[in-house]
Amino acid sequence: MSDPDIRPGETTVELPAPGDAALRFIGRIRTPWAQREECPRQGRMDGPECRIELNPVWHPALNGLEDYDMIEVLYWLDRSRRDLVRQSPRSDGATIGTFALRSPVRPNPIGTSLVRLVRIDGGTLIVRGLDCLDGTPLIDVKPDRCAFTPMAPPKS
């Protein structure tokens, strides 16, 4: 049966129902974008302020994050299909492998962005540089690796 969401040249695979990973979402991301068409392809540092709302149990985990200007955010692109192997993102019909793209359509739809930390309000991070839909589940937050100095002793 033809699938209206598939473009010419794109291919899919048959997959079992998802359920083989047990991620815990730790909060939600609040952005101005309700529809994919409105959402930037990649976040920009001059983009709008967005809110990363952590579940209360994780608020103490923010201790120390205020020292960083740039942080890495990982999120679950929950409204993506997950079965495309080759994709045709451009209008010229060229197809490209899923792993050669940063498309939200991937077997495990994890998005990552390096964002500017504007401020922390209690358990909410105010950031610029995101590119996800309003309500996107949050997977993780880390300091930018370039600014981070490991706290643990050197490995022998």
Ligand X SMILES: C[S@@+](CC[C@H](N)C(=O)[O-])C[C@H]1O[C@@H](n2cnc3c(N)ncnc32)[C@H](O)[C@@H]1O
Q: Does 112 bind ligand X (CB under 6 A)?
A: yes
The span from the CA of 86 to the CA of 100, in Å, is 9
Q: Does 104 bind ligand X (CB under 6 A)?
A: yes
SS3 call for 153: coil
Q: Segment 6-65, which members bind ligand X (CB under 6 A)?
A: 36, 39-42
The DSSP output letter for 104 is S
Q: Does 113 bind ligand X (CB under 6 A)?
A: yes
Among 52, 125, 132, 138, binds ligand X (CB under 6 A): 132
Q: Does 108 bind ligand X (CB under 6 A)?
A: no
Q: Does 71 bind ligand X (CB under 6 A)?
A: no
Q: Does 81 bind ligand X (CB under 6 A)?
A: no
Q: Which pairs with CB-CB distance under 8 Å and at least 24 residues apart come from 87-92?
A: 87/7, 87/10, 88/7, 88/8, 88/9, 88/10
* Closest approach of ligand X to the CB of residue 155, in Å: 29
Q: Which is nearer to ligand X, 47 or 104 (CB)?
A: 104
The span from the CA of 129 to the CA of 73, in Å, is 10
* Closest approach of ligand X to the CB of residue 151, in Å: 27
The span from the CA of 84 to the CA of 82, in Å, is 6
Among 54, 84, 133, 141, binds ligand X (CB under 6 A): 133
Q: Does 90 bind ligand X (CB under 6 A)?
A: no
Phi, psi of 34 (to 5 degrees): -95, -25
The span from the CA of 76 to the CA of 71, in Å, is 17
Which residue intervals of 67-143 are DSSP H helices?
none
- In the complex, which residues of this chain contact ligand X (CB under 6 A)? 36, 39-42, 77-80, 102-104, 111-113, 131-133, 136
